[in-house]
């Protein structure tokens, strides 16, 4: 009789896991998830975990939402995939139209990829190619924020300022100009950042193609917040110096910050909008870049070399687009943004004991994103907190000493109470 090897053990032997030192799996094995429903994951040993980070910020309406499941089942009987070069299909056209409507029609052209890093690559290439098509070949550099994260492919790493991801590949990367982060935890940081941007653009706008940033929240930096006024000032500087603005809403789009798109709180419109993660509600890989008609028209002509030269086999996959349309339907039918605004006071009341903890600093909330910094020296804090959280039936992954919640938008108040109480238990278990 052959020995039954646990799924977690088989995974450690056969699967190269992301953002993981594989040797650590000998000490802390991965959890083998058998099923998921709503805010909860269930492993093969019968344990459950509240997915407080939406599995890397993708499950907007929780896991296995029946409306998205039904939409995918219907699409499977109709069309799985067709190449988007020379063909089209209803889901990709309808999704493009509906995303454009979400921007008030200002961003009317959608180009599709598979993931967030691909969206960054596409936006950077579009910007530089636009200037090339206009005969301004020298406009091919970029400006980004300190601690910014935009993905881990080589072009995306060029505008990412997190050494952990960049250092090993430094010789392969073409970097950007990095200006100080507008970190709300540091007085005058927004003014300092804007001054640095103004000085750089004044001296170098003839060679700068675009400024790229995550509007309102630098997520992978540790949920670093900045104000809508800062974003508005950046957009104004880009306009004055004839430089594109790329808003990376891969993590913060689709209602995470309280508005459908984060940039809308600043009453501006970027030149490029990068989307992914929540776009399909966590069901299938998909990303998109939306842009203005003026930019699209600069690629329109006779020569193929003038066209936007980017593609992959699964561009605009019909199944992924159908899942994304089901997500749009859920926003329209539930008005979940208004619902979350209405219960904001109750959610803040529930989180208050956590923010009042003696070791918690800089408690901050933006829409449905909660974050706080733990003032405590503990070796390997993120790993130890993560493991203690799993023991408390919570999926949490701190960034440095910053703990954050980004649960599904429809997390219940009972579930949120469980999350806050469990986090307090974790702090106590770690001696914090």
List pLDDT tens digits, range 103-130: 999 999 999 999 999 999 999 999 999 9
pLDDT of 1 over the 70 cut: no
Burial 301-335, CB ≥16 within 10 A → b, else e: eeeeeeebeeeeebbbbbbbbbbbbbbbebbeeee
Q: What was the pLDDT predicted at 45?
A: 92
CB atoms within 10 A of CB 401: 17
Reference 327, options 71, 52, 54; nearest CA is 71
pLDDT of 188 over the 60 cut: yes
CB 60 within 8 A of CB 408: yes
Tokens of 54: 């939406």
Q: pTM for the full model?
A: 0.96
CB atoms within 10 A of CB 203: 10
Q: Under CATH, to which class is 69-333 assigned?
A: alpha beta
Reference 235, options 253, 249, 247; nearest CA is 247
Q: What was the pLDDT predicted at 4?
A: 83
Tokens of 301: 């002509």
Q: What was the pLDDT predicted at 328?
A: 98
CATH of region 31-64+337-429: 3.90.1150.10
**Band of pLDDT at residue 5, cut at 50, 70 and 90:** confident
Q: What's the mean pLDDT in 133-155?
A: 97
**Band of pLDDT at residue 185, cut at 50, 70 and 90:** very high
Q: What's the mean pLDDT in 293-313?
A: 92
Determine what percent of the chain is predicted with pLDDT higher than 70: 100
Task: State the DSSP H helix or E strand holding residue 284, giving kind and residue range, or none if neither.
Answer: none
Q: What's the mean pLDDT in 50-71?
A: 98
Query: Which of 27-31, 169-173, 338-342, 394-398 has the least mean pLDDT?
Result: 27-31
CA-CA distance, 285 to 321, in Å (whole number)?
10
Burial of 11 (0-12, 13-18, 19+ CB in 10 A): middle
The CA-atom distances, in angstroms, between 63 and each of 150, 319, 344 are 25, 17, 23
With a CB cutoff of 8 Å and minimum separation 6, the contacts of 144 are: 150, 159, 160, 161, 176, 177, 178, 179, 211, 212, 213
Please work out, in degrees rounded to the nearest 5, the angle formed at the alpha carbon of residue 224 by the alpha carbons of 223 and 228: 115
String of DSSP letters for 107-133: S-EEEEESSHHHHHHHHHHHHHHHHHH
Every domain of the chain with CATH number 3.40.640.10 lies at: 69-333
Every domain of the chain with CATH number 3.90.1150.10 lies at: 31-64+337-429
- Strands 287-291, 109-113: pairing is antiparallel
Q: What was the pLDDT predicted at 3?
A: 78
Q: What's the mean pLDDT in 385-405?
A: 97
Q: What was the pLDDT predicted at 105?
A: 97
CA-CA distance, 398 to 383, in Å (whole number)?
8
CB 12 within 8 A of CB 22: yes
pLDDT of 138 over the 80 cut: yes
With a CB cutoff of 8 Å and minimum separation 6, the contacts of 155 are: 120, 121, 124, 125, 174
Residues in the chain: 432
């Amino acid at each position: 009789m052959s020995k039954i090897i646990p799924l977690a053990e088989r995974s450690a032997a056969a699967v190269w896991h992301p953002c993981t030192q594989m040797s650590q799996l000998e000490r802390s094995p991965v959890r083998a998830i058998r099923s998921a429903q709503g805010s909860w994951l269930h492993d093969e040993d019968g344990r459950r975990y509240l997915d407080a980070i939406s599995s890397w910020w993708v499950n907007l309406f929780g896991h296995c939402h029946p409306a998205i499941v039904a939409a995918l089942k219907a699409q499977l009987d109709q069309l799985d995939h067709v190449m988007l070069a020379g063909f089209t299909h209803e889901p990709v056209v309808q999704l493009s139209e509906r995303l454009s409507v979400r921007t008030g029609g200002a961003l009317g052209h959608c180009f599709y990829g598979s993931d967030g890093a691909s969206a960054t690559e596409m936006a950077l290439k579009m910007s530089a190619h636009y200037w090339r098509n206009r005969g301004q070949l020298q406009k091919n550099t970029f400006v980004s924020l300190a601690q910014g994260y935009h993905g881990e492919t080589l072009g995306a790493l060029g505008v990412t300022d997190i050494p952990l991801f960049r250092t090993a590949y430094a010789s392969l990367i073409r970097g950007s100009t990095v200006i100080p982060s507008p970190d709300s935890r540091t007085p005058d940081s927004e003014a300092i950042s804007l001054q640095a941007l103004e000085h750089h653009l004044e001296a170098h706008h003839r060679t700068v193609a675009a400024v790229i940033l995550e509007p309102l929240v630098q997520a992978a930096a540790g949920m670093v917040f900045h104000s809508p006024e800062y974003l508005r000032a950046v957009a104004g500087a880009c306009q004055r110096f004839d430089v594109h603005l790329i808003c990376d809403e891969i993590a913060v789009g689709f209602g995470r910050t309280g508005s459908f798109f984060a940039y809308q709180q600043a009453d501006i419109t970027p030149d490029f909008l990068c989307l992914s993660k929540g776009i399909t509600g966590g069901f299938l890989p998909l990303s998109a870049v939306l842009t203005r008609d003026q930019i699209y028209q600069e690629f329109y002509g006779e020569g193929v070399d003038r066209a936007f030269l980017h593609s992959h086999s699964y561009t605009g996959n019909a199944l992924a687009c159908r899942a994304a349309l089901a997500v749009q339907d859920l926003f329209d039918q539930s008005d979940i943004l208004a619902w979350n605004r209405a219960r904001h006071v109750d959610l803040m009341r529930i989180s208050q004991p956590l923010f009042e903890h003696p070791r918690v600093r800089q408690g901050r909330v933006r829409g449905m994103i909660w974050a706080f910094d733990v003032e405590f020296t503990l070796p390997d804090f993120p790993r130890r907190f993560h493991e203690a959280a799993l023991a408390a039936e919570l999926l949490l992954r701190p960034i440095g000493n910053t703990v954050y919640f980004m649960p599904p938008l429809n997390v219940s108040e009972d579930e949120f109470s469980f999350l806050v109480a469990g986090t307090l238990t974790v702090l106590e278990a770690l001696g914090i």
